[in-house]
């Protein structure tokens, strides 16, 4: 087993798990369901190369649930701006 980060030990982790209420464990430790075919794979941005702000925000679609929601919100706002924008005459 790989070493745990920080000052954690296996004993600390197991003693913490034993103090988790049964109802909380039952709510969290549930059987996983298969992903839908159109699911977006979760993958962080490649930080080994420089990213523009646009590239970074675009990568939010694949970072995780909350970031994906933020990405969707950014896309909706961009579309709203495009629809309501009236160019100067």
The pLDDT tens digits for 9-51 are: 555 555 555 677 888 878 888 888 898 998 878 888 888 889 8
The answer as to whether 8 is a domain residue is no
Range of 71's domain? 51-89
The answer as to whether 84 is a domain residue is yes
Q: What is the count of structural domains for the chain? A: 1
Q: Provide, rounded to the nearest whole percent, the portion of the chain with pLDDT above 70.
A: 78
Q: Provide, rounded to the nearest whole percent, the portion of the chain with pLDDT above 90.
A: 6
pLDDT (0 to 100) of residue 53: 86
Task: Please state, in angstroms and rounded to a whole number, the distance separating the CA atoms of residues 76 and 80.
Answer: 6
The answer as to whether 66 is a domain residue is yes
Place of tokens 């160019």: 87
pLDDT (0 to 100) of residue 27: 83
Which SS3 state, helix, strand or coil, does residue 43 take?
coil
Average pLDDT for the chain: 77
pLDDT (0 to 100) of residue 58: 81
């Amino acid at each position: 087993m790989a070493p745990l980060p920080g000052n954690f030990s296996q004993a600390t982790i197991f003693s913490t798990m034993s103090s988790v209420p049964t109802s909380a464990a039952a709510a969290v430790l549930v059987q996983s369901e298969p992903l839908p075919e159109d699911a977006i794979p979760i993958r962080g941005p490649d930080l080994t190369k420089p990213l523009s702000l646009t590239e970074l925000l675009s990568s939010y679609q694949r970072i995780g649930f909350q970031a994906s929601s933020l990405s969707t919100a950014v896309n909706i706002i961009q579309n709203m701006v495009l629809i309501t924008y009236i160019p100067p005459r």
